[in-house]
Structure 1
Amino acid sequence: MFAASLLLAGTLTAAAPSPDAPQPAADPPPNVLLICIDDLRPELASFGADWIESPNIDALAARGRAFHRHYVQAPTCGASRYALLTGNYGPAGNGALFQRARKLRENPEAVSPSLPAWFRRHGYTTVSVGKVSHHPGGRGGGNWDDDAQPEMPDSWDRHLMPTGPWQHPRGAMHGLANGEIRTNAGKMAVVQSTPGPDTTYPDGLTTDEALAQLDQLSEARTAEGTPFFLAVGLIRPHLPFGAPADDMTPYADATLPPTPHPEKPAGKTTWHGSGEFMKYDRFGRNPNEDPAFAEAVRKHYAACVTYADRLAGRLLDRLDEAGQRENTIVVLWGDHGWHLGEHAIWGKHALFEESLRSPLIVAYPGLPQPGEPSRAIVESIDLFPTLCDLAALPAPTGEDGEPFVDGQSLRPLLEDPAAEPPGGGSACAYTGRAETIRTDAYRLIAHRDGHLELYDHRTPEAETQNRAEAEPETAARLLARLRERLADR
């Protein structure tokens, strides 16, 4: 029956319905389980990193479609999640969704529906648990727990963030073991490994609540036929790199591959000084000068990935136990990458490959060629129209029939991983200071002051040799393409 819904998707062209009442999707509509993981590099076994323990994500990739060249729209949490949840290029900062919320309050007609709002409008129960938008739980205020300041108005039936001993969402966001809260980053350890269960760290509580919500939603689906859109956001491997001690076990004696191009690049680049990382307690050590400490940081990051993988596995197992796998589209998405010493960066916030490339996996029953990855360049903004397409919902268009998203459906690549990519096979991203476009061969970075960086990924130097002066015609051509793509941002 789920496959029948997919077949119907290509024939639905209805305009946006009235927001006043939920509209039914195809019968029977599939559920959606969206798993968001913070700061997740595509350094997983299923993406080619054989030293990482990620069995649950790998199993999902084996039955789904892993997109090995998925790029986010911004190397920071808030702006990247804005792109995912609206399908649009947008503001560059972490306050992007709050800016949208203000506009929505001032003039609802001027703001298009979010991804969960669109599904809610079409009869879905929408629930978020954990860090799905920028703030865990999706609220503003001093401790990010003010119900009067929703980050995504009119989007969720329930938006939840259990905090336990971490007291509030802000405490959980940067929490270490057993309720330790960051009051001063310089006093909080940058890495930690504490014995205990999953709930030793905040993501364990998030997962427990998500499992309870999944049970409740599955019961409603079985009893009443109500489809659900459940989004679960795991914080790890975000800083600080703390995970249960058992998750460090696989890495105690592991041999790590060398870090590619670990030197600070010459000239003006998108490089930055790893400010967030360097503010933590580093025990008087600098990973750029201390190879042993650099290796320790990498291993603790890996432990956080293994921790997040196990929690994702618990969600996927419960989906099976609830009998909902055959009715559900599963998406696993990393909100951006993270540098572990490449270009001498320990963090994100740059427009290099390591900051912008992250894992994306889509799985559903009846997927052709399961386990075969796609190497097409795709973007986070493509997920909104893709999920509408797969769920047989009307395309995200306004009353004038024009799309209100910048992304395009990835359904052709889901049906055939060798198909032509949408959007001409390029991806755009931005910070407050520069913008970039990635094509199959090149990355161009354009700074606001006119300075250009051009990197040729067909060469061993990749993003270490600026070729803008040597290839001015290529730089000009890509700059024009970049400006056209981001003209309405």
Structure 2
Amino acid sequence: MILSRKLFLPAIVAACFTVTAARAQQPLKKPNIVIIVSDDHAYQTISAYGSKFTQTPNIDRIAAQGVRFDKAYVTNSICGPSRAVILTGKYSHKNGFKDNESSVFDGNQDSFAKQLHSGGYQTAWIGKWHLESTPQGFDYWQVLPDQGQYYNPDFDMMDGSKKRVNGYVTNLITDAAEGWLENRDKTKPFCLVIGHKATHRVWLPDTTDLGKFDETVFPLPANFYDSYQSRTAASMQDMSIDKTMLMGYDLKMFSSKKEEDADGNFSRMDTAQRRRIDAYYDPIHKEFSNLQLQGKALAEWKFQRYMRDYLSTAASLDRNIGRTLDYLDSHGLKENTIVIYLSDQGFYMGEHGWFDKRWIYEESFRTPMVMRYPGTIKPGTTSDRFVLNLDIAPTVLDAAKLPIPAQMQGQSMLPALTGKSDKKREVIYYHYYENGEHSVSPHFGIRTARYKLIRFYKRTSGWELYDLKQDPHEMKNLYGEKGYEKTTETLFKQLKTEILRFEDTDALKLLSQKP
């Protein structure tokens, strides 16, 4: 029997209404969450951020499919404290993990992992942890002891055992992450944190990537020979490529095979790994010995070696991020999974003559951060709003439709990304505490759209002021100079407001003291 058009159309409309109503009654499916945290990965070396040094197609892929944050920063530029901030959504003085020298993370405090777990999520942390305590809030964890090793690393396991796994650490962390994804409870949404060791010192590449950049001559940063005039704290540091970077430990130019054999990074390699490593570095060592370099020539040779090893190590990082994305895509998880990639802080690639991090200066303070959330974040989005690693915890809880605990000091990034009205952050606050390695003085300060005000203490005592519009590389300290009195007064008030907002009592005491 053929229905007339008049009878047929109402039937379709009624059916569609019934299906739509049924869907509306179903609870919204909570998104899965994958957070990938690297170590010391400089935004200057990511092609999505315009790097000319190398290509990072998989990090770029997250940005292309979601958002690239162009003003992402950290609250304390050092690895352990940064992870504690990400996990808790609280500044270092609130979560208790201020430095890598004396801090132990209190796992009894709240975290986004605990909140997600209580909200029905299955949770896991795999890879670098570096918080000197047992992970809590996770259904599964498998973490590197301390900093971990590049080759044949040990893993601390949930049952209390330590397991050594043969292979290259970046590949092995990805293997473990995929293994957990395969065996998870597929009836629950999940949150997986993948903590990569790369690109932490000593920049030891996978054998696959050895020599990847040997034909590249990297341009020397314009301020590589910075004299640190007017910047006392910078003049006191011990983190220069010229004077601090070690020929053996860092650049694999050991004085003898005996010294090389004694190095823990080399002694744990198997025969095949060591053969390939030696086949690559031995000819470089021979050539270097023949050159007999000194002075600037030696410093610039070290810079080229540093860049080649660092970027070769980063190549494996990007490739393994691609593996994780491919897994999600091929297993039907892409459309309902948030992926966030960030480094635990920025890093120096020869700017000011440095490697390492720690400073409130831009290359250290600023971090790469990209995020995809299909159906929520428009592909190809760029954001120039101030965001912090502090915002990760409230963002994922917001996405999971779970309450954001009042003690979390960050703010969800989702309202800005979905076009909803929210309060734009005009000032970002920073506090670095460690007073040991690399001789970087503890300090705190703020960054606004144009200016940066810094208070140094302990190792040296004093103030610094930078006009980032006129001096983006922070070469001239303007504090105390004529004509900047009103600017300094305004910034001082803003700094005090932020200190009071975040209840940083130590900084408040120092603020009242004259430098």
Instruction: Give the TM-score taking structure 2 as reference length.
Output: 0.72
C-alpha distance 100-476 of structure 1, shift in aligned 2 (>3 A): farther
Check if 1:93 corresponds to 2:93.
no
Kindly indicate whether the alpha-carbon contact (under 8 Å) linking 1:40 and 1:334 is maintained by their aligned counterparts in 2. yes
* Aligned equivalent of 2:67: 65
> Secondary structure of the equivalent of 2:425?
helix
TM-superposition CA deviations, 1:337-356 (whole Å, max 9, x none): 11122122221122211111
Q: Structure 2: 5+ residue runs without aligned partners? A: 1-25, 156-164, 256-292, 435-441, 505-515
Residues 87-112 of structure 1 show CA distances to partners (whole Å, capped at 9, x for unaligned) of: 111143126872433xx3xxxxxx4x
**Which letter maps to 1:359?**
P
Q: Is the 8 A contact 1:71 1:427 kept in 2?
A: no
Contact 1:378 1:421 in 2 (8 A): no
- 2:354 matches 1:387: no
Q: Distance in 2 between matches of 1:274 and 1:213?
A: 39
Residue 320 (structure 2) aligned to one of 295, 311, 315: 311
**Which among 455, 466, 475 is matched to residue 466 of structure 2?**
455
**Alignment CA distance shift 1:435-1:64 (3 Å):** same
- Of 117, 122, 140, 1:125 maps to 122
Shift of 1:425: 4.5
Q: Unaligned regions of 5+ residues in structure 1, if any?
A: 1-24, 105-110, 141-148, 164-168, 182-197, 398-402
Q: CA separation in 1, counterparts of 2:341 and 2:102?
A: 22
Instruction: Find the counterpart in structure 2 of residue 261 from structure 1.
Output: 223
SS at match of 1:236: coil
Measured in 1, the distance between the counterparts of 2:294 and 2:493 equals 40
Given the superposition, is the C-alpha separation of residues 209 and 97 from structure 1 closer, same or farther in structure 2, using an over 3 Å criterion?
farther
Structure 2 Cα separation of the partners of residues 374 and 213 of structure 1 = 33
Q: How is 1:93-172 mapped onto 2 (pairs within 5 angstroms)?
A: 93-94=99-100, 98-101=104-107, 104=108, 111=109, 113-131=110-128, 133-135=129-131, 140=132, 149-150=133-134, 152-153=135-136, 155-161=137-143, 169-170=145-146
Counterparts of residues 9-24 of structure 1 (less than 5 Å): none
Task: Report what 1:342 is aligned to.
Answer: 351
2:189 is the counterpart of 1:207: no
Name 1:246's counterpart in structure 2. 208
**What's the % identity of the aligned pairs?**
28
Cα deviation digits, residues 60-98 of structure 1 (max 9, x gap): 110011101100111111111111111111143126872
Give the aligned residue type for 1:77: C
- Inter-partner Cα distance in structure 1 for 2:295 and 2:375: 46
Question: Structure 1 pair 281/460, CA: closer, same or farther in 2 (3 Å)?
Answer: closer
Q: Over aligned residues, Cα RMSD in angstroms?
A: 2.9
Quickly say closer, same or farther: Cα 1:216–1:479, change in 2 above 3 A.
farther
What one-letter code is carried by the residue in structure 1 that aligns with 2:60?
D
Residue 256 of structure 2 corresponds to residue 274 of structure 1:
no
Contact 1:382 1:407 in 2 (8 A): yes
1: distance between equivalents of 2:102 and 2:472? 34
After superposing on structure 2, the runs of 4+ consecutive aligned residues of structure 1 that deviate more than 6 Å are: 284-288
1:469 to 480, 484, 490: 480
* CA distance in 1: counterparts of 2:349 and 2:154, whole angstroms: 25
In 1, are the aligned partners of 2:217 and 2:304 still within 8 Å (CA)?
no
What is the alpha-carbon distance in structure 1 between the residues aligned to residue 239 and residue 127 of structure 2? 26
Q: Alpha carbons of 1:301 and 1:331: their partners in 2 closer, same or farther (altered >3 Å)? A: same
**Residue 50 of structure 1: how far off its partner (Å):** 3.0
SS in 2 for 1:252: coil
Distance change (3 Å), C-alpha of 1:260 and 1:48:
same
Number of residues paired by the alignment? 405
Q: Which amino acid aligns with 2:190?
A: F
Task: Measure, in 1, the Cα distance between the counterparts of 2:61 and 2:472.
Answer: 34
Q: Deviation digits for residues 188-234 of structure 1, max 9, x if unmatched?
A: xxxxxxxxxx96422221111111011223xx22xx2x111111011
Cα distance 1:383–1:210, how it changes in 2: closer, same or farther (>3 A)? same
8 Å Cα contact 2:202-2:250 kept in structure 1:
no
Q: Which range moved further: 361-370 or 477-486?
A: 477-486
Q: How far apart are 1:307 and its partner, in Å? A: 1.0
Matched, 1:415 2:418: yes
* Cα 1:174/1:429, change in 2 over 3 Å: same
Q: Aligned partner of 2:149: which letter? A: G
Distance 2:89 2:102 in 1: 13
How many angstroms apart in 2 are the aligned matches of 1:26 and 1:359?
34
Query: What secondary structure, in the 3-state scheme, does the structure 2 residue paired with 1:476 have?
Result: helix
Amino acid at match of 1:291: E
* 1:240 partner amino acid: V
**Aligned 8 A contact 2:220 2:350 in 1:** no
1 CA distance for matches of 2:470 and 2:426?
22
Q: 1:97 to 1:329 in 2, by over 3 A?
A: farther
Give distance in 1, aligned partners of 2:199 and 2:294. Answer: 20
**Gap change, CA 1:235 and 1:259, over 3 Å in 2:** same
Q: Secondary structure at the match of 1:479?
A: helix
2:239 partner amino acid: S
Closer, same or farther: CA 29–478 of 1 in aligned 2, 3 Å = same
SS at match of 1:436: strand
Tell me how far apart the structure 2 counterparts of residues 260 and 375 of structure 1 sit (CA, whole Å).
26
SS in 2 for 1:83: helix
What pairs up with 1:29-44 in 2 under 5 angstroms? 29-43=30-44, 44=46
Distance 2:316 2:494 in 1: 40
SS class of match (1:339): coil
